[in-house]
Amino acid sequence: MIRGRRWLGVAAAVVLSVAALGSAALVAVTVTNTERPPLDPPASARGLDDADGMDDPDGMDEPDGLGDPAPITRPPLADPPDPGPVPDAHGISAADLAAAVASSVRVAAPACRGIVREGSGFGVGDGDLVVTIAHLVVGMEEPEVELADGRKLAAVTVAFDPANDLAVLRAPGAGLRPLPLSEAAPDGTLGALLAWEAEGEPDPTPFRIDRPVTVRTEPVGGGDRIERPSWLLAADTEVGDSGAALVAELDGRITAVGVAWGASRRGGGGVAYATRSGALERLLASSDLDERAELPGCG
């Protein structure tokens, strides 16, 4: 267990292009390390070495004296950011994975210029609420949600966060098992990205969290650059993965730790980004989830 330590974000920034997972368009972003306190590693992360070959800090000696924090500094971001090799497995039990898959959905509808767009989502809150990505629903007047049991339901967008690229839909009658939310996932956490596949069900894609980062980019719909709290991930993603839940086992239960939104094609792939769940929790708490949200128009 890591106690009395704090992570220090290295003062480094990397500029690169990132593709939104629901679009082929590239967006220029700036990625920097994010400071945060340490967290006890879940079972999926214990015993793993960091991607740069350094020993897991859990094995470091505690400082002498009264337990004052011993600062630990992450390695600086590479240019382009390199989260290390993509994991071969997600480390989630079969029962927990089945429950998370049952909470996952496909979101699709005609959008701007009549082009049908589709992405992924997952259940939260009262079970009729579905989280997806904001850039997916722009121009969607009547989004449709397809559940893992084959049902297709009409939905309405009730919350929209252009800065963090998040949207919440209400699909009456969905009755999904909601995923709990938390971003209390330490570096090295393994999990599964539950993206909807053409075969008609979510396909778990293994990921590993390299570190929390802050991404400076334009909000959905355009405007002045904002800061988006994100995860830097080692994961093989593809177009259509936008809105997928990042699930991991934290404190013995399956938890959504983030929402996938983009990937870097520079440096050979295997690099992805997701909005951390804290931003989603704030959106849910601050929105009227029974009223239609205002969306930006098609550009």
pLDDT digits (tens, 9 = 90+) for 279-295: 999 999 999 999 999 99
For the cut 80, the answer to whether the pLDDT of residue 49 exceeds it is no
Is pLDDT above 80 for 232?
A: yes
Q: Where are the beta strands (DSSP E) in the chain?
A: 5-8, 13-20, 26-33, 70-73, 104-110, 116-124, 129-132, 144-147, 152-154, 156-161, 166-170, 190-196, 202-217, 226-234, 245-250, 253-264, 271-276
Share of the chain above pLDDT 90, in %: 60
CA distances from 278 to 104, 105, 259, 282, 283 (A): 19, 21, 11, 6, 9
Give all domains of the chain, ordered by start, each with its CATH number: 5-93+180-279 (2.40.10.10), 94-178 (2.40.10.10)
What is the value of pTM for the model shown? 0.78
pLDDT in tens, 104-155: 999 999 999 999 999 999 999 999 999 999 999 999 999 999 998 999 999 9
> What is the pLDDT, as a whole number, of residue 76?
78
Q: How far apart are CA 90 and CA 112, in angstroms?
A: 36
Question: In this structure, what token pair is assigned to residue 246?
Answer: 């990042």
pLDDT digits (tens, 9 = 90+) for 181-204: 999 999 999 999 999 887 777 889
The whole-angstrom separation of Cα 71 and Cα 233 is 24
